A and B are shown apart, each in its own frame.
Chain A
Amino acid sequence: MLLSAIVFLPLLFALIIALWPKETSLRHLALGFSLIEFFLSLSVFQKFDPSSASLQLVEKHVWIERFGISYFMGIDGLSLWLVLLTTFLMPIIILASWKSINTRIKGFHACLFILQTAMLGTFLAIDAIFFYIFWELSLVPMYFIVGIWGGSRRIYATVKFFIYTMAGSMLMLVAMIYMMYLTQEATGQMSSNLLDFYKLKIPFIGGQFFSLQTLLFFAFALAFSIKIPLFPLHTWLPDAHVEAPTPGSVVLAGVMLKMGTYGFLRWVIPLFPEASEYWAWLFMLIGVVGIVYGALVAMVQPDVKKLVAYSSVSHMGYIILGLFSFNVFGLQGGLYQMLNHGVSTGALFILIGMIYERTHSREISKYGGLAGVLPLFTIFFFIVTLSSIAVPMTNGFVGEFLILLGTFKVMPVFAYVAVLGVILGAVYMLWMFKRVFFGEPGPLVKDDHHPLHDLNFREVTVLVPLVVMIFWMGLFPNQFLDWSKASVDHLVQNRSAYNLTIYGASATPAAPLVAEPPTPTAEPTTESTPMPEAPSPTTDTTAEPGE
């Protein structure tokens, strides 16, 4: 019941908020609700067994028997921290938008809570259709958040965001339905259960694009790549960020982008082991290009928020690089980087929002000398900058180090290019920092009619938890990594025939592959005859377990 409560409680909150008669106490109510949700999610730690790679706290009920669709939720080391990240950020977001959201407060908070349900459901659903519902549901409140409370080009941005992500998801839905069909071929009973999907052996022919596993792989990968977003599918992101209100940007960067990377981790890599391995070079290449490209374009942005948006493209490149290295360093690093990015980029957007509330501008060239006027704000911004450029003792370093190490282990050439991101990251962040905070006071800073005030108590309260997390995760990473260790080890060691058992269930040892490959007669595509795996350029280097 715990997971159901965690996922659906926000929906209940949204309902209560929608029906709440008064607008005056609404913010306090929402903050209280989000805190309740956060503390509830903390109780997962009590029941979660970090030594097990199995799916825990499982809830499974038959939903649509005819198609084998079930209400199926579970948590393991891959999703645990993302759930916590989601519930951790929500109170911060609500407190951060205390003053900046002034219209339709009710609708705004209701949207936030619906969004929270959707994101949590995405991380916890273990059934394809169930997952897909949450995945798409998340678009709706975000569409409204950007479209109603956004900036001047909000409609353009939100429509672009919606259609872009939707287009990718459609292919994924088709692929999911096809996989349900495959389960029927294999077992006689249709199922959309992810654990059944894992047992499928989908024929793969290396070097041939139109082979079944490759097609399914790309259908899923495209949907997730748009969400992340990976280069060159990233152009919706800067627009969405610039137009979104601060809380929208924080949710978007902090959690929603991770739905894409999580998708790779939970769906793509274990479901299509051969195709992932065969195409790993492509995704690592995209990751590396994204790192460098995102950093270079971020460097020349005139708008702070756009700069941070492009820096996200760069950071997401690191994550995908780590995930496709297929070793423990890269995967743990990638997982860690997801959390880091949520914390530090979330914090950056909050900080940018705070200064925007004061000056109503995000143009870098209009600032300058801010450090002399707003010392406290400067300190917070600097700490978050350090985290973003991965200075040791902050969270960013641990993730980046592990990812680069994991990449170097399998494909040194990509690591050699990716370290350019370490340099360029410092360049774009510090250059921006210099222009905004140092030098002579700019026109917005020395405006005598509107003297700027440093952070107030509420704003400090918003930032302190984030800064605490930055150092906590930087100094004691083991306290985080240990919880995901078992699951990541399991994935690395069993990647070629991944299976996931349910915690506590009488596990049928190393579940045999019940699924036969579809016979050519039942299959419209004729090239699906299983063939010995074609020699792939990456097999010799990537398949080893992480010692």
Chain B
Amino acid sequence: MNHSLLMSILILSPFVGFLINGLRYKKHNYLVAGTIATSAVFISFISAVFLVVDLVGLPPDSRRIAVTFFEWIRVANLSVDAGFVVDQISAIMILIITGVGSLIHLFSVGYMHHDKGVAKYFAYLNLFIFNMLLLVLGDNLLVMFVGWEGVGLCSYLLIGFWFTDETKAAAGMKAFVTNRVGDAAFLLGMFILFLTFGTLNFSELNALVPAAAETSWLGAITLGTLFLFVGATGKSAQIPLYIWLPDAMAGPTPVSALIHAATMVTAGVYMIVRLNPMFMMAPNTMMIIAIIGAATAVMAATIGMTQWDIKKVLAYSTVSQLGYMFLACGVGAFGAAMFHLMTHAFFKALMFLGSGSVIHAMHEEQDIRKMGALKKYLPITHFTFLLGWLAIIGIPPFSGFFSKDEILWMSFHSPLGHPVLWAAGALGATLTAFYMTRLMCLTFWGASRVPKGTHPHESPITMTIPLVVLGVLSVIGGWIGIPHIVSDFLGHLPNVWEEWLHPMIKEVPNMGPADASLEWALIATSVGLASVSALVAYHMYVRKPGSASRVADAMGPAYKIVYNKYFIDEAYFAAIINPLVKGSRALWYYVDVNFIDKCTYWAADVAKGGGALIRSLQNGNMQQYAMYIGIGLVVVLSILLMR
């Protein structure tokens, strides 16, 4: 089938959905709005499948379907096309976006059925898919940036969807502004790369990268990639710009699943993988990325251990898992980063939707202290959530095990890696097992703490179908990327993932041969730690409820600090936001009103005073004029005579 037609359908179908629902923004019928929006994304999914099938049919080294619609901006040597490319990397993304996206749209039909703004909701959701597709399909940095800001905009609209609540509107704004900080850096990164290489096109940039790595911190590639990475920390919620993501949970839960777990927040990872030959040549940037990724993974996991809001736990878990993806990028394991991106999209979307199902059942209650023993009321939700739990804590053969194991192994083994990075990753995995088990225990298991009058019930079928599909994917999703060492053991299963991405990924130079026994030992260690940690959590929250709070009390201030998210928000407020607002008020009052404007008054007064002075000379009094003439005469004459 015609590729440009398929590409148009892929991209424009959600946009048409947005327009239709946007024009019916006053309508309340959730079935009509939901059907329009879901089918719009599903049509996209179908065309994505067609495109990917065609892509698979091409020989591995020329797998690339490019469509250019028109030239967007042309100024001097800057020429930016509205061009879109499906290749090995974007193929994965479009399947995730439209596939998981369709499921989440379907879930939303049930979830949002009582909301009055349902047409508006679906319009925003479709607009998001459209922008996300622009982001991943764009063949150059500027088109990517269009989607990059576009998804941020949709995120803003959806976080603040229930805008009459001041805090929700504030959360939306916080997300947008924090993202803007990253976007400003992204712009600078683009400028540096464009002025160095004369193009913003991905394939051209990757082809122009010099062969030798750049060692200077101030080199164009290092600086350019660093700025792009700062952009990524905004969009993908990494230190220091992660603060918006937990607040973003103010949005409807399916939005959290789609935008703040499966798709948008992975954009930063995607961007780095897209430009991996470029990043590879900037080892300093790579080091920073790995450190930030590992630090975020651990820090967010510690906060996740202390939160009581089911969505907040998942939010910090997302921040932490994104940290793993950046760790992978930083050690040159771009394939593993993409792999984890995909498995995470499955299991985290699953868990967010599961939490949505729980919240729905609990009549908008999100506090896990008021849950417990929901297993019997929500059997499907519980079972699928269980699969997600096993996947994220990395129990084989669930999907998360394969992707996380690959990252941990590479962070140890790669020349860009370091045992400390591995240790941080393993620690993060241990903490992850703890807080996810804690979440399972407090929500589904143990004793019921459900308040009287609440009658939890299983969700309707439109909500459980997506759960089941994502549950299956969370189990089997990892099987396409089985590591060599395991596949050798199982009888030479192919690593489809690695073969698929191979032409797009630049190999890490000087990679030593893998030591099988070491790799087994590391796998055993991380799985062992996770299992023990999960058992401890089970013990603390199911067997001996109450022991957890004793531990927390024993920790004292340390617990308080973690519970309050290290007071980072407060620090930002104290160090940046409050001084900025106060300083601006001072600027307005002291500089603008009382200095600059006063200066103009002063200038006016001088003119006026001067005028008054001269006016007083011309008062119409004849005698005075005569006197002036007399004085003048004397002066002139005396000058003439003195000469």
A426–B177 touching, CB < 8 Å: yes
Mostly, the B contact residues are: helix
Whether A235 is near chain B, meaning CB under 8 Å from some CB there, is yes
A-side contacts of B76, CB under 8 Å: 327-329, 546-547
Measured CB to CB, the nearest residue on chain B to A407 is: B191
B191–A405 touching, CB < 8 Å: yes
Q: Which of B180-188, B341-349, B387-395, B494-502 contacts A (4 or more CB under 8 A)?
A: B180-188
Q: A232-B596, A329-B75 are in contact. Are A404 and B170 (CB under 8 A)?
A: no
B581–A300 touching, CB < 8 Å: yes
B195–A420 touching, CB < 8 Å: no
Q: A232-B596, A297-B588, A415-B188 are in contact. Are A437 and B163 (CB under 8 A)?
A: yes
A438–B166 touching, CB < 8 Å: yes
B-side contacts of A430, CB under 8 Å: 156, 173, 176-177
B173–A299 touching, CB < 8 Å: no
A-side contacts of B173, CB under 8 Å: 430-431, 434
Whether B573 is near chain A, meaning CB under 8 Å from some CB there, is no
B-contact bits for A52-76, CB 8 A (1 contact / 0 none)? 0000000000000000000000000
B584–A409 touching, CB < 8 Å: no
Please report which residues of chain A, range 236-253, place their CB below 8 angstroms from some CB of chain B when the two chains form the complex: 236
Q: Which of B51-59, B100-108, B142-150 contacts A (4 or more CB under 8 A)?
A: B142-150
| Smallest beta-carbon distance A311→chain B, Å | 13
Interface residues on chain B, number (Cβ under 8 Å): 52
Measured CB to CB, the nearest residue on chain A to B120 is: A375
| Smallest beta-carbon distance A432→chain B, Å | 10
Please report which residues of chain B, range 157-188, place their CB below 8 angstroms from some CB of chain A when the two chains form the complex: 160, 163-166, 169-170, 172-173, 176-177, 180-181, 183-185, 187-188
CA distance A476 to B71 in the complex (A): 8
A-side contacts of B570, CB under 8 Å: none
Whether B77 is near chain A, meaning CB under 8 Å from some CB there, is yes
B75–A328 touching, CB < 8 Å: yes
Q: Pick the residue among B78, B142, B150, B172 that contacts A329 (CB under 8 A).
A: B78
A-side contacts of B72, CB under 8 Å: 475-478
CA distance A299 to B581 in the complex (A): 8
A547–B580 touching, CB < 8 Å: no
B163–A439 touching, CB < 8 Å: yes
B-contact bits for A206-249, CB 8 A (1 contact / 0 none)? 00000000000000000000000000101110000000000000
A422–B183 touching, CB < 8 Å: yes
Whether A178 is near chain B, meaning CB under 8 Å from some CB there, is no
Whether B429 is near chain A, meaning CB under 8 Å from some CB there, is no
B-contact bits for A376-411, CB 8 A (1 contact / 0 none)? 000100000010000111000110011011001100
A-side contacts of B149, CB under 8 Å: 391-392, 397
A391–B584 touching, CB < 8 Å: no
CA distance A440 to B587 in the complex (A): 30
CA distance A300 to B600 in the complex (A): 23
| Smallest beta-carbon distance B71→chain A, Å | 6
A-contact bits for B120-160, CB 8 A (1 contact / 0 none)? 00000000000000000000001001100110010010001
Whether B604 is near chain A, meaning CB under 8 Å from some CB there, is yes
B-side contacts of A481, CB under 8 Å: 73-75
Interface residues on chain A, number (Cβ under 8 Å): 61
CA distance A440 to B617 in the complex (A): 65
Most chain A CB neighbours (cut-off 10 Å) among B25, B153, B172, B191: B191
Whether B585 is near chain A, meaning CB under 8 Å from some CB there, is yes
Whether B194 is near chain A, meaning CB under 8 Å from some CB there, is yes
Measured CB to CB, the nearest residue on chain B to A298 is: B584
Whether B592 is near chain A, meaning CB under 8 Å from some CB there, is yes
Measured CB to CB, the nearest residue on chain A to B156 is: A430
A-side contacts of B588, CB under 8 Å: 296-297, 300-301
B-side contacts of A402, CB under 8 Å: 73, 75
A-contact bits for B59-74, CB 8 A (1 contact / 0 none)? 0000000000011111
B587–A293 touching, CB < 8 Å: yes
A-side contacts of B114, CB under 8 Å: none
Whether B609 is near chain A, meaning CB under 8 Å from some CB there, is no
B74–A478 touching, CB < 8 Å: yes
| Smallest beta-carbon distance B587→chain A, Å | 6
Most chain A CB neighbours (cut-off 10 Å) among B176, B177, B184, B581: B184
B195–A409 touching, CB < 8 Å: yes
CA distance A482 to B600 in the complex (A): 42
Please report which residues of chain B, range 399-423, place their CB below 8 angstroms from some CB of chain A when the two chains form the complex: none
Please report which residues of chain A, range 154-178, place their CB below 8 angstroms from some CB of chain B when the two chains form the complex: 160, 163-164
CA distance A328 to B172 in the complex (A): 37
A-side contacts of B449, CB under 8 Å: none
CA distance A406 to B227 in the complex (A): 18
CA distance A424 to B25 in the complex (A): 31
B-side contacts of A419, CB under 8 Å: 184-185, 187-188
Whether A314 is near chain B, meaning CB under 8 Å from some CB there, is no
Instruction: Show 27 residue pairs from A and B whose CB-CB distance is below 8 angstroms, ordered by the A residue.
Output: A235-B592, A293-B587, A296-B580, A296-B583, A296-B587, A301-B588, A327-B76, A332-B75, A371-B163, A375-B25, A391-B150, A402-B73, A404-B187, A405-B194, A423-B177, A426-B180, A427-B177, A434-B160, A434-B172, A438-B163, A438-B169, A440-B164, A440-B166, A476-B72, A478-B71, A481-B73, A481-B75
Extra pairs beyond A163-B604, A441-B164 (16, CB < 8 Å) = A235-B597, A300-B581, A328-B76, A333-B75, A375-B25, A391-B150, A401-B73, A422-B183, A423-B181, A427-B177, A430-B156, A434-B160, A438-B160, A476-B70, A481-B73, A546-B76
Q: 3 shortest A-B CB distances, which residue pairs?
A: A438-B169, A392-B146, A438-B163
Binding site for A on B (CB under 8 A): 25-26, 70-78, 142, 145-146, 149-150, 153, 156, 160, 163-166, 169-170, 172-173, 176-177, 180-181, 183-185, 187-188, 191-192, 194-195, 580-581, 583-585, 587-588, 592, 596-597, 600, 604
